[in-house]
Amino acid sequence: MSLSESYAAGRVVPVPEPAPVEVGVGPVAPHELVAVARHGAGVRLGEDALAAIDRARAVVERLAEADTPAYGVSTGFGALATRHIPTEMRARLQRSLVRSHAAGSGPEVEREVVRALMLLRLSTLATGRTGVRRETAQLLADLLDHGITPVVREHGSLGCSGDLAPLSHCALALIGEGEVRDASGALLPAAEALAAAGLAPVELAAKEGLALINGTDGMLGMLLLALHDLEVLLRTADVAAAMSVEGLLGTDRVFAPELQAIRPHPGQAASAANLLRLLAGSGVVASHRTPDCNRVQDAYSLRCAPQVHGAARDTLDHAARVASWELASAVDNPVVVTDPDGSGRVESNGNFHGAPVAYVLDFLAIPVADVASMSERRTDRFLDKARNQGLPPFLADDPGVDSGLMIAQYTQAAVVSELKRLAAPASVDSIPSSAMQEDHVSMGWGAARKLRRSVDGLARVVAIEVMTAARALDLRAAALDVQPAPATAAVVALLRSSGVEGPGPDRHLSPEIEACVDLVSSGAVLAAAQSQIGDLA
């Protein structure tokens, strides 16, 4: 179940099949990448892209015929760049490059990640900066269009000279080699999958092998998918926090706009405004606004939710800006440039270094861990009789006989502990490669892989908070004869209609936790709250 599924009529329903995406000389939009990568949208190359590809190819062919060596066109690669390759060996050069660099190891990378990096590589080819032939670019588009996904392995990229190994596994499929999965998910040789789709492999010409594998597309694709998911999860964290404030008899007064304006961080203001809207009309909150209430102020995990959630939002905005710059880039080495007189040349450069993307991938793992940590602290307050404002220990039906949600919090704590480890940066590490020619690398692929795990962990932690707060709200409604806010009540109703039961004797919890994780990850919890109050910021 994906985050872009929608909630309607009390159930999660898949979105309609997305329209094909046209790839032109301009950048792919983030929502287009999600449509292709996650929802299987097809692609087509625009006429402007085909024209740009043809112009750049003419430059490469002129250089290939020249006596002067040109890196990537008539030379070896990396530390072997000093060798001039004769014309009759250049097809073998490109083929050997792809075969040797497809050296990944480990489990298969997720289909959506592979499709994302394929689309982003196609987008770079479409800029007319790489010098490939139009038939090579078209075959890459055809693979996406037919749902043919090369098998890419977990380990192999250092995030410099691009994501070489992952992209090489994709390029291998273009020459009819390696393994792929077809649209049904079946594993088969690339040559068989191409034939079944009515496609023919290409024989790579000068520079094409290098152009297919020299980019930051894997790490950028994972960044864009994470940004898409975190936009939903951070708003869902506001929903969870509102349910906890309500269930723990906290106050909403600390979220007032005049208090947020004193510290004008935009994410903080947005999160506080969300919390106020989510708690509007709450009979539970109103029930303790009486003269005899002796609560002076709430714990930090309640009172400071906008500050933490808001800082995470601002970090997300920064990462999105970096992603937008990278989407507008043509990452290759060497790259085709056009001179003022209309002629072209090929120049070496360092734009393949993944540092800009790697840094924000690492950066995002920090607020993900911290938002999850605060969520776990709110959950723990619900379960502690000394701090939960009159609720039974562990929200158990018969404490002592029943353990309630005790171990659900253990699960949260285990995930949060892992998220803290995953927040350690990958991009500060560098291991020299290619006989010290590539003596500083970004490790951006590793940063992206751990961020994907972090995003999954955040969804699980927030889901357990939502499940716990929903049980507490049911108990409050029964004890105080008051109803929660319309927005939070809609979330409770969603859980109850989706197999996540309310208070009662102990039962097998794991299936309910997984059901709640699906509801959070799919965006259904967020949509349920928004069905009552409109879209959250």
Structural contact between residues 60 and 130, judged by C-beta atoms closer than 8 angstroms: no
300 a catalytic residue? no
CA distance 511 to 504: 16
Q: Could you tell me the sign of the dihedral formed by the alpha carbons of 338, 341, 345, 351, in that order?
A: negative
Among 308, 311, 322, residue whose Cα is nearest residue 360: 322
Question: Helices (DSSP H) in 261-327: which residue ranges?
Answer: 266-279, 283-287, 300-303, 305-327
Please state the separation of Cα 189 from the chain's center in Å.
29
- Spot the catalytic one: 7, 71, 300, 410: 71
Among 77, 101, 90, residue whose Cα is nearest residue 171: 101
CA separation, residue 457 to residues 4, 235, 453 (Å): 18, 16, 6
Amino acid at 307: Q
CA distance 291 to 22: 63
Structural contact between residues 20 and 535, judged by C-beta atoms closer than 8 angstroms: no
For the CA atoms of 249, 253, 257, 260, what is the dihedral angle to 10 degrees?
Answer: -80
Amino acid at 121: R
Among 317, 300, 299, 302, residue whose Cα is nearest residue 234: 317
Query: Which residues, including other chains, have CB under 8 Å from residue 408's CB and lie 6 or more apart?
Result: 379, 464, 467, 468, 509, 513
Residues marked active site are found at 71
